[in-house]
């Protein structure tokens, strides 16, 4: 059906728009009672046993749980907060899922794998399994009810997103990942997957008998376990397999578009000796601030070309982008291009590219100015140039607006024509962008690196898997939507790997008592430590340092100092401990302890990278007076943002960061390659599938 002459809002019933923006979650989930109670010097602790523990209930964790249960694995999900986290609470104008194209002539998995790893530092086997696995990931979601849009022939509707040359993106609207959580949670309910909600894992337990260290379980703080006999709510999980699906480190940066209370599991895993990879790689871009409503301003929010301006401390408005671009047409085109070039890319700060918009916004906010998007004004003119006009647009801009029948006078009309859900969404969160300008800034949005995993999602600790944003499966860049795909693919793959093993048994809790005791002793010490470090101060120190010294603008000369300060913070935490003022702060005190480790790990990797000549890549500009490139604006060169360029050899390796005896080690390692795919044939390779050899 053509939408000719009508807006989407006129064609689609309000009820449908509401269903895509205001996504209700299932009201109940199955729960599990402890298998036994353990007496631990004065406290009585619940113990849960299962074959596989999934830590986290975002899109990745739920996929792993559902796939495990389908394979008859006794799985239990422990989660800090059910229906909270990035998948449940984040999105953008069309939140994207990136999979192999499923329309017309299909796709080529090698091409897709090449696109996934185009920015370098991505293992070839990971890229290939994400490409081939995307079909099943996608079909599974469709089967359980994800409303992925299709045409009358059953082909999925697709569009082009960032780092995507072929148009492999699709979306259910602003809340794709929340809808994924919803349908996966409904499926988990159908399969009676048990959950323990308000359960925060604070330490991994390790079976270190024999030659191989392997996962044995975890210590948690369970709100439901709090009692007079266990004031902190300590709980124990015993499991031979554990899947970390705790998401990304949203709290690492002050300027962050993650929902609040996203800590991820970097520090938790580092503490257990698990290796991490690509910690230098993040995504930054424009969005609304998380104190209000954390949301990405990508896609049609900018393709409708709102007026972007800043307001200083005296209330004066500045058309600051006009200082950066040479003509009004160029300025408008670069606002538009942020739609599908949303994450910052250092090289796009050159040649009047689209990341100059982000750089300009960053510079304004450094001066204490507040940034706004006004959807009721077109971009104002560059001094001396003609005003904005629909008759003077770059070809790609004009074509896009024409194709979408959105050649309309004002940004709000263009947005309403292209994507009324984008307006609805902010309305649901108390901001009517059709009447009031929207404050925003540049934020940390995603960590591409994370825990190092093999092509089944297994970490360097046997039996411990990582999926979703917890895993460092992406390279320097990733197409928009590849994060959600990776979580689904590795959710399936880790389940297959776990289910392929003969059923292992849990080691007795008594063998783990020394490790459990260390943890309870730390809790006791924190609760009686008035001289310990203050949680709020630790938070402020880490976030400020990371945003100011390791954000998308990173002054090479300042990283060493930031690393020294991060190291000192960890020394102080070791010496003085963290004060835990109330029992309900125990979990968060561990999370900030872990975040302090994660921060030192990231800065160690960055420092190593820079010392070895590492330059600007992905979303981070490594600025230095020694840099070879310099962004140029209409009003002159930006000497303070002169930056070092990337060295091609760094694309062929990853930096592995590990932690042992309070020391971080950074080691470059070459990328994993694929076997010769041309040597795989049906009769020859079928036995490996039948015998389970493919899992080994």
Give the residues lining the site for ligand FAD (CB under 6 A).
Answer: 55-61, 78-81, 84-87, 90-92, 95-96, 177, 199-201, 245-248, 257-258, 262-263, 265, 287, 294-296, 445-446, 468-470, 480-484, 487
Helix, strand or coil for residue 205?
A: strand
Q: Shortest gap between Cβ of 671 and ligand FAD (angstroms)?
A: 22
Helix, strand or coil for residue 131?
A: helix
Q: Shortest gap between Cβ of 690 and ligand FAD (angstroms)?
A: 33
Nearer to ligand FAD, 58 or 577 (CB): 58
User: 435 is written with which tokens?
Assistant: 């009447």
Q: Shortest gap between Cβ of 417 and ligand FAD (angstroms)?
A: 22
User: Quick one: which of 176, 139, 170 has its CA closest to 156?
Assistant: 170
Nearer to ligand FAD, 90 or 497 (CB): 90
User: What single-letter DSSP state applies at residue 672?
Assistant: P
Nearer to ligand FAD, 287 or 526 (CB): 287
List b or e across 387-416, with b for residues whose CB sees 16 or more CB atoms inside 10 angstroms.
Answer: ebebeebeeebbebbeebbbbbebbbbbbb
| Residues comprising the chain, all counted | 696
Nearer to ligand FAD, 464 or 470 (CB): 470
Q: Shortest gap between Cβ of 315 and ligand FAD (angstroms)?
A: 30
User: 687 is written with which tokens?
Assistant: 């036995």
Per-residue HEC secondary structure of 29-79 comes to CEECCCCEEEEECCEEEEEEECCEEEECCCHHHHHHHHHHHHCCCCEEEEE
User: Quick one: which of 445, 287, 436, 286 has its CA closest to 357?
Assistant: 286
Q: Shortest gap between Cβ of 440 and ligand FAD (angstroms)?
A: 12
Chain center to CA of 443 = 12
Nearer to ligand FAD, 518 or 637 (CB): 518
| Distance (Å, whole) CA 291 – CA 298 | 19
Per-residue HEC secondary structure of 488-557 comes to HHHHHHHHHHHHHCCCCCCCCHHHHHHHHHHHHHHHHHHHCCCCCECHHHHHHHHHHHHHHHCCCEEEHH
Are 275 and 459 within 8 A, CB to CB?
yes
Half-sphere exposure of 269 (CA within 13 A, CB side): 38
Nearer to ligand FAD, 259 or 463 (CB): 259
Nearer to ligand FAD, 369 or 446 (CB): 446
List b or e across 309-343, with b for residues whose CB sees 16 or more CB atoms inside 10 angstroms.
Answer: bbbeeeeeeebbbbebbbbbbbbbbbbbbbbbbbb
Q: Shortest gap between Cβ of 474 and ligand FAD (angstroms)?
A: 9
| Distance (Å, whole) CA 526 – CA 520 | 10
Q: Shortest gap between Cβ of 481 and ligand FAD (angstroms)?
A: 4
Count of CB atoms within 10 A of residue 363's CB? 18
Beta-bridged to residue 43, according to DSSP, are 40
Q: Shortest gap between Cβ of 467 and ligand FAD (angstroms)?
A: 7
| Distance (Å, whole) CA 319 – CA 307 | 8
Nearer to ligand FAD, 352 or 440 (CB): 440
Nearer to ligand FAD, 452 or 610 (CB): 452
Q: Shortest gap between Cβ of 219 and ligand FAD (angstroms)?
A: 11
Q: Shortest gap between Cβ of 264 and ligand FAD (angstroms)?
A: 6
The number of helix segments (H) and strand segments (E) in the chain equals 20, 27
Strands 194-197 and 30-31, how do they pair? parallel
Nearer to ligand FAD, 91 or 411 (CB): 91
Q: Shortest gap between Cβ of 630 and ligand FAD (angstroms)?
A: 31
Q: Shortest gap between Cβ of 283 and ligand FAD (angstroms)?
A: 8
User: What distance, in Å, lies between the first and last C-alpha atoms of the chain?
Assistant: 50
Q: Shortest gap between Cβ of 373 and ligand FAD (angstroms)?
A: 16
Q: Shortest gap between Cβ of 201 and ligand FAD (angstroms)?
A: 4
Nearer to ligand FAD, 21 or 329 (CB): 21
| Distance (Å, whole) CA 257 – CA 234 | 31
Chain center to CA of 250 = 8
Q: Shortest gap between Cβ of 611 and ligand FAD (angstroms)?
A: 30
Nearer to ligand FAD, 79 or 241 (CB): 79
User: 481 is written with which tokens?
Assistant: 């939507």
Are 365 and 254 within 8 A, CB to CB?
no
267 Cβ contact list (under 8 Å, min separation 6)? 591, 593, 594, 595, 596, 597, 598, 601
Q: Shortest gap between Cβ of 395 and ligand FAD (angstroms)?
A: 27
Nearer to ligand FAD, 178 or 650 (CB): 178
* 207, containing H or E segment: strand 199-207
User: 106 is written with which tokens?
Assistant: 């299909």
| Distance (Å, whole) CA 91 – CA 480 | 12
Q: Shortest gap between Cβ of 63 and ligand FAD (angstroms)?
A: 8
Nearer to ligand FAD, 179 or 262 (CB): 262
């Amino acid at each position: 059906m053509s939408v000719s002459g009508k807006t989407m809002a006129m064609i689609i019933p309000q009820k449908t728009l509401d269903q895509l923006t205001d996504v209700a979650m299932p009201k109940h989930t199955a729960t599990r009672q402890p298998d036994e109670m353990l007496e631990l010097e004065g406290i009585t602790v619940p113990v849960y046993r299962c074959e596989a523990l999934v830590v986290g209930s975002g899109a990745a964790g739920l996929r792993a749980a559902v796939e495990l249960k389908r394979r008859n694995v006794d799985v239990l999900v422990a989660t800090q907060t059910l229906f909270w986290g990035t998948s449940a609470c984040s999105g953008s104008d069309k939140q994207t899922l990136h999979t192999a194209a499923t329309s017309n002539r299909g796709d080529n998995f090698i091409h897709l794998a090449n696109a996934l790893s185009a920015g370098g530092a991505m293992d070839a086997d990971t890229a290939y399994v994400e490409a081939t696995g995307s079909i099943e990931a996608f079909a599974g979601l469709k089967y359980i009810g994800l409303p992925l849009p299709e045409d009358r022939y059953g082909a999925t509707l697709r569009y082009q997103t960032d780092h995507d040359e072929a148009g492999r993106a699709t979306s259910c609207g602003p809340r794709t990942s929340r809808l994924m959580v919803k349908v996966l949670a409904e499926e988990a309910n159908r399969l009676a997957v048990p959950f323990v909600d308000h359960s925060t894992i604070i330490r991994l337990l390790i079976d270190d008998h024999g030659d191989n260290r392997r996962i044995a379980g975890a210590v948690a703080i369970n709100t439901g376990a709090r009692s007079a006999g266990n004031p902190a709510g300590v709980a124990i999980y015993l499991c031979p397999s554990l899947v970390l699906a705790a998401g990304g480190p949203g709290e690492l940066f002050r300027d962050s578009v993650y929902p609040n209370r996203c800590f991820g599991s970097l520090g938790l895993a580092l503490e257990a000796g698990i290796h991490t990879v690509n910690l230098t790689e993040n995504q930054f871009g424009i969005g609304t601030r998380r104190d209000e409503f954390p949301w990405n301003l990508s896609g049609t929010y900018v393709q409708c070309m709102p007026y972007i301006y800043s307001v200083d401390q005296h209330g004066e408005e500045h058309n600051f982008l006009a200082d950066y671009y040479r003509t009004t047409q160029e300025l408008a085109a670069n606002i538009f291009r942020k739609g599908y070039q949303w994450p910052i890319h250092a090289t796009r700060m050159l040649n009047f590219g689209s990341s100059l918009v982000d750089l300009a916004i960053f510079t304004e906010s450094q001066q204490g100015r507040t940034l706004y998007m006004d959807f009721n004004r077109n971009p104002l003119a560059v001094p001396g140039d003609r005003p904005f006009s629909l008759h003077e647009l770059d070809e790609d801009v004009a074509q896009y607006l024409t194709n979408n029948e959105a050649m309309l006078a004002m940004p709000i009309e263009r947005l309403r024509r292209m994507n009324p859900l984008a307006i609805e969404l902010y309305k649901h969160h108390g901001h009517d962008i059709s009447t009031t300008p929207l404050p925003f800034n540049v934020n940390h949005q995603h960590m591409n690196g994370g825990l190092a995993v093999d092509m089944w999602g297994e970490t360097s600790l046997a039996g411990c898997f990582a999926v979703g944003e917890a895993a460092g499966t992406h390279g320097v860049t990733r197409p928009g939507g590849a994060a959600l795909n990776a979580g689904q693919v590795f959710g399936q793959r880790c389940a297959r790997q776990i289910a392929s093993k003969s059923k292992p048994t849990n080691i007795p809790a008594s063998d783990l008592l020394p490790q459990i005791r260390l943890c309870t002793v730390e809790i006791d010490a924190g609760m009686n430590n008035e001289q310990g470090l203050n949680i709020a101060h630790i938070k402020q120190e880490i976030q400020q340092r990371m945003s100011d010294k390791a954000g998308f603008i990173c002054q090479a000369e300042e990283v060493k100092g930031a690393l020294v300060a991060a190291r000192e913070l960890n020394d102080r935490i070791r010496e003085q401990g963290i004060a835990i003022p109330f029992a309900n702060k125990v979990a968060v005190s561990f999370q900030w302890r872990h975040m302090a480790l994660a921060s030192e790990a990231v800065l160690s990797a960055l420092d190593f990278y820079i010392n070895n000549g590492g330059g600007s890549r992905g979303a981070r500009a490594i600025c230095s007076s020694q840099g070879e490139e310099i962004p140029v604006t209409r009003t002159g060169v930006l000497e303070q943002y002169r930056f070092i360029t990337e060295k091609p050899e760094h694309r062929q390796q990853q930096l592995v960061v590990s932690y042992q005896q309070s020391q971080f080690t950074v080691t470059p390692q070459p990328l994993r390659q694929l076997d010769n795919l041309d040597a795989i044939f049906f009769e020859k390779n079928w036995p490996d599938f039948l015998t389970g050899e493919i899992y080994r």
